[in-house]
Structure 1
Amino acid sequence: MTRAAIYSRFSTDLQSERSIEDQVALCEAYAAREGLSVTARFEDRARSGGSVLGRDGLMRMMEAAKDGGFEVVVVEALDRLSRDMEDLAGLHKRLTFAGIEIRAVHEGQVNTMLVGLRGLIGQLYREDNAHKIRRGMAGRVRDGLSGGGSAYGYAADPAAKGKRVIVEEEAAIVRRIFESFTGGQSPRAIAHALNAEGIAPPRGRAWNASTINGSATRGNGILRNPLYAGRLVWNRLRMVKDPETGRRVSRPNPESEWQVTAAPDLAIVDAALYDAVQAMKEGRAGVAPRLQQRPKRILSGLLRCGGCGGGMSTYGGDRTKRTRVMCSRHRESRSCPAPRSFYVDTVEKAVLGGLRAELEDPAVIAEYVRAYHEERKRLAAGAGARRASLEKKAAALAREIDRLVDAIAKGAGDPAVLGPRSTALYKEKTAIEADLATLAAPVNVVALHPVVMARYREQLDTLGRALGRGLAGGDGDAAAALRDLVESVTLHPDPARDGGIHIEVKGRLTALLGPGAWPNGVSCGVVVAEARYGRSAHGGEPRFFLRFSA
């Protein structure tokens, strides 16, 4: 007798487990009528027909087909194999190549025309079903019901299906987060405080900045969720299936497609507080994190420990009421190998005076640019060799991917093995192409034009005025001007003098000269200009390095 295998599948956990048994019974009765001997049975429970990925039963059946374990595959209907046109056609092609028929109980022996028609019908059914589900969800949202998902501060109402109720304990944390943010605390500082108090996060083991901050595009995160202000926003995102992996990924929808419904009974914070937070976040968009917090002193956030490289923070004053700074790593874990404390006012005066003394002469900047130019030429030579190596590797990967795709198309290899392999190679090739895109063309000339030098003098004057005001009373303009110029200030004790300090300042050369000083943009880091300063290369924008003592 002709050997046959039965394949059965149902889609979701919401369907009955009996579906598999019913399908198998139907296929066995068909096989008996057709004189087929059932030698194998394969199944996939709660697996969508939208993709062959993740369906272990189907993959085992295809492996057995290559080994000649049967001559016929029996299914209740073709949509049990797949509801995707491409996948169904591929399965039919591979089984036909192996000399295996597909027979459907309700459709009989399957041929190419039937595969095309049923594949089209199955895919249209799946897409139409998705549209109907979205339409039903849109109606629920219009009625103020949940459109899916959960949010911190809410729970499902046990008395009314689809409704939410406020969880007061969590709502108090939400209000605290909003008030702390408007009070000047960063999302990271808020997360640290909540973790220190042992407050359970929405998910995972700990709060982090992204949980609080969220994404403006996706509207997630505590501070971005409009539901806390009594506005239910649905359809911000759509889910699409990646044809390479079979996984669903989210894509943002344009704002014109969002559906907004008032839900005042779900408001946790008042609208004024929510809008104030959004205005603050909008004002900080594109601003570096070092500029987002309001610094308490001129150098707050810029000081680094020379012993371990960690940050430094104030820890009180001495009997003369002078404030001191110490390595934060030492204070928290005693792990700094060379902890020292320094007086803040001494450091501030030394840094501000040193900056003016070292940078007021344009000849100093000209020397930085000359050293930068030499370093760019040196790096460009190495970049050319690296580009050639990456291009060669990308070409080899492209050839290997083409070979695997051809093998799959010709039925010469197992798609379950070759498919993931080609996907991995494609990702590797994409990463190499991204690296190639970041390799900028070498800059031939870096010159100090008159306009650039005018910009330099203007910046120095602005800095001088701001710092003059800042020394008197912690002026905000002074802090902003300094942070625009200085990246870090590292403190080392001077072994030759009791209480003496060696200070290293790393600054942004572009902040003084402006981006127009660098032809073709900036793509690699810099160097230090005079021999007494040493020499160092870094990724990113051009930098200057100063060293002086106090």
Structure 2
Amino acid sequence: MKAAIYCRLSKEDEYKVGESESIQNQKSMLVQYAIERGFDIYQIYSDEDYSGIDRDRPAFNAMIQAASEHRFDLVLAKTQSRFTRDMELVEKYLHGKFIEWGIRFIAVVDHVDTDDRANKKSRQINGLVNEWYLEDLSNNVRSVLDHKRREGQYIASFALYGYRKDPSAKGKLQIDPEAAAVVERIFEMTLSGIGAHKIAQILNSEGIPSPTAYKQRNGIHYKISAKNPNASLWSCPTIYQMLHNQTYAGNLVQGRHKKVSYKSKKTVWLPKSEWIVVPDTHEAIIDLETFERVQETLKNRARSGSNGMVHPLARKVVCGCCGSIMEQSGSGENRANGTRRRYLRCRMHQRAPERCSNKTCTDLNALEETVLQRIRTYVEDYFDPQKVDLPQRDDPAQKREQAKRAELRRLKGEVERRRKAIQELYLDKASGLIDAGMFSQMNQSFLEEVKQAEARILILETELGQQKTEREETEAQMQRVRQFAAVPVLTRELVVLLLHRVVVSPKDPETGKQAVTIEWNF
């Protein structure tokens, strides 16, 4: 009689490396049992780091396949729970398929034997107890993990892209400078109006490894699903998940989804109100203000154009007749500089002309220029660059600078006087007014005083030079403020920040003029 031996080590024993002693013990016991009873061992099947509820155990499924082909006559396991903890599988195989296939099942420790009809109820009770055990264990594990999440401990197996696990503090994150630079760049590109698809294209074209590829490149044993062969590339969903993840702003977000059941691997997303968010648990890669601006930008997101850029007024322009969003379209004509003419048309008129009569095609370039001029006018009326409070040096700092300059003038004067004194001293020696010994003593004293004064002069000139640099930096800051106040270009970020919407009315048939009304966010 041929016997298949099945061994399993619980997934909870992840700290064990390689083929554990527990597996070896199971094998030794079952091999000895088979030899004592004269069974021929067909094959030993072993699953390590798999839960008894898991239906995707590779060795288990290989054994079931071989059983269906009747390659052996019985299955040996240490206990029924080693075979499975799922009551449904107990009924399916022990009391169903194995009987059809003529396969006997023996659990050595439990004294389970499917040839013994009398202990069927015992097998069923064992199955129920095993399943209850798993359910209680699942609830306990979930409670412990939720407690750790609320304590601000990061419990995921792998650190979020942009971070690494702190080796000196369990459950804490620290910034990974290389990946963090990519995260910052993604947020910057989003604020500049580049769409997620274009961002992914840029990163892939530059050969920047995706989060999955980055983990693997750094020696992290991260498994790629066979269903996703392109996991090594950046994608839109990856970009969107990063842009919405508040963890990058220093607030740890966990518990966003959960398993539907301890018997299933399927997960469902939880409502945002049920997420566990703990603020200020780690250093932020993206400051909170920038993160919130990105969220506002994403709320107003629109499809990007052929160049991957979202035009600044996307989803902000509405029809003055029906209130529908006006969509971008091209005329097919090219300008002298090779660029295509762009227009906005009422979405409702295109789809249901009977509900909106606005068939005006609004020149998008002209509209963008009009909006930009309105913003500039608004800025000129309410913003004075000269009144911007730049970091000012305090009065004590100015007084210290004046004192240093006065000291510098005094020391330079003293150095000049000492050098003249040395010259006169030499003349006195040459005239015989003083002897050589006195000359040497006085000359040495004057030279020491000059040396000390010049050392102090060098320090003062260095410090005053740095203060001059500070004044130049202040002037440079003021120059940048003036440039921003001039609003040189209309950007998506600026539109989202300032404009609620732009209402465009149809052209007046007599004058050809088109009314444009801007509704501000303030």
TM-score range, shorter chain: 0.5 to 0.7
Cα distance, 1:179 vs. partner? 2.7
Cα distance, 1:279 vs. partner? 1.8
Residue 18 (str. 1) matches residue 21 (str. 2): yes
**Equivalent residue number for residue 138 of structure 2:** 130
**Equivalent residue number for residue 277 of structure 1:** 294
1:298-317 equivalences under 5 Å are: 302-303=329-330
1:210 paired residue among 237, 259, 263 = 237
Residue 224 (str. 1) matches residue 244 (str. 2): yes
Kept after mapping to 2: 8 A contact 1:188/1:209: yes
Kept after mapping to 1: 8 A contact 2:67/2:101: no
Inter-partner Cα distance in structure 2 for 1:69 and 1:264: 57
**Equivalent residue number for residue 270 of structure 2:** 253
Number of aligned residues: 328
1:3-27 residue CA offsets vs partner (Å, 9 max, x unmatched)? 5443222233544522222112222
Kept after mapping to 2: 8 A contact 1:165/1:266: yes
Inter-partner Cα distance in structure 1 for 2:71 and 2:177: 63
**Equivalent residue number for residue 166 of structure 1:** 175
Residue 237 (str. 1) matches residue 246 (str. 2): no
Inter-partner Cα distance in structure 1 for 2:259 and 2:153: 20
Residue 189 (str. 1) matches residue 198 (str. 2): yes
Kept after mapping to 1: 8 A contact 2:3/2:40: yes
Counterpart secondary structure, 1:294: coil
Unmatched runs of 5 consecutive residues or more in structure 1: 214-220, 307-311, 315-321, 326-343, 357-361, 370-447, 478-550
Residue 6 (str. 1) matches residue 8 (str. 2): no
- Shift of the 201–25 alpha-carbon distance from structure 1 to 2, 3 Å rule, reads closer
Supply the AA of the counterpart residue of 2:54: S
- Shift of the 261–195 alpha-carbon distance from structure 1 to 2, 3 Å rule, reads same
**Equivalent residue number for residue 177 of structure 1:** 186
Supply the AA of the counterpart residue of 2:66: E
Inter-partner Cα distance in structure 2 for 1:282 and 1:84: 45
Residue 151 (str. 1) matches residue 160 (str. 2): yes
Residue 105 (str. 1) matches residue 108 (str. 2): yes
Counterpart secondary structure, 1:260: strand
Kept after mapping to 2: 8 A contact 1:42/1:60: no
1:437-469 residue CA offsets vs partner (Å, 9 max, x unmatched)? xxxxxxxxxxx9xxx63x332x23xx36x55x9
Inter-partner Cα distance in structure 1 for 2:204 and 2:68: 55
Cα distance, 1:262 vs. partner? 1.5
**Equivalent residue number for residue 456 of structure 1:** 356
Inter-partner Cα distance in structure 2 for 1:48 and 1:231: 33
- Shift of the 146–304 alpha-carbon distance from structure 1 to 2, 3 Å rule, reads farther
Kept after mapping to 1: 8 A contact 2:2/2:40: yes
1:367-378 equivalences under 5 Å are: none
**Equivalent residue number for residue 506 of structure 2:** none
Q: Which runs of 4+ in 1 moved over 6 A?
A: 296-301
Cα distance, 1:232 vs. partner? 0.8
Kept after mapping to 1: 8 A contact 2:313/2:368: no
Kept after mapping to 1: 8 A contact 2:198/2:309: no
1:114 paired residue among 119, 122, 147 = 122
Cα distance, 1:38 vs. partner? 4.1
Supply the AA of the counterpart residue of 1:113: K
Counterpart secondary structure, 1:129: helix
Inter-partner Cα distance in structure 2 for 1:191 and 1:39: 54
**Equivalent residue number for residue 201 of structure 1:** 210
Inter-partner Cα distance in structure 2 for 1:296 and 1:129: 54
Identity of aligned residues (%): 26
- Shift of the 68–31 alpha-carbon distance from structure 1 to 2, 3 Å rule, reads same
Residue 96 (str. 1) matches residue 99 (str. 2): yes
Inter-partner Cα distance in structure 2 for 1:100 and 1:174: 56
**Equivalent residue number for residue 77 of structure 2:** 75
Supply the AA of the counterpart residue of 2:291: Y
- Shift of the 303–87 alpha-carbon distance from structure 1 to 2, 3 Å rule, reads same
The two structures, once aligned, show a CA RMSD in angstroms of 4.0
Residue 48 (str. 1) matches residue 51 (str. 2): yes
Counterpart secondary structure, 2:267: strand
Inter-partner Cα distance in structure 2 for 1:73 and 1:61: 10
Unmatched runs of 5 consecutive residues or more in structure 2: 114-118, 214-231, 318-325, 373-522
Cα distance, 1:65 vs. partner? 6.5
Cα distance, 1:79 vs. partner? 0.9
Kept after mapping to 2: 8 A contact 1:191/1:212: yes
Inter-partner Cα distance in structure 2 for 1:258 and 1:162: 18
1:88-127 residue CA offsets vs partner (Å, 9 max, x unmatched)? 2111122223444322222213443123212222222223
Cα distance, 1:233 vs. partner? 1.2
Inter-partner Cα distance in structure 2 for 1:169 and 1:130: 37
- Shift of the 223–104 alpha-carbon distance from structure 1 to 2, 3 Å rule, reads same
Inter-partner Cα distance in structure 2 for 1:124 and 1:178: 47
Inter-partner Cα distance in structure 2 for 1:67 and 1:206: 44
- Shift of the 39–194 alpha-carbon distance from structure 1 to 2, 3 Å rule, reads closer
TM-score (norm 1): 0.51
Cα distance, 1:276 vs. partner? 1.4
**Equivalent residue number for residue 515 of structure 1:** none
Inter-partner Cα distance in structure 2 for 1:177 and 1:185: 9
Supply the AA of the counterpart residue of 1:96: I
Inter-partner Cα distance in structure 2 for 1:122 and 1:51: 13
Cα distance, 1:229 vs. partner? 0.9
Inter-partner Cα distance in structure 2 for 1:183 and 1:292: 9
Counterpart secondary structure, 1:6: strand
**Equivalent residue number for residue 149 of structure 2:** 141
Supply the AA of the counterpart residue of 2:337: T
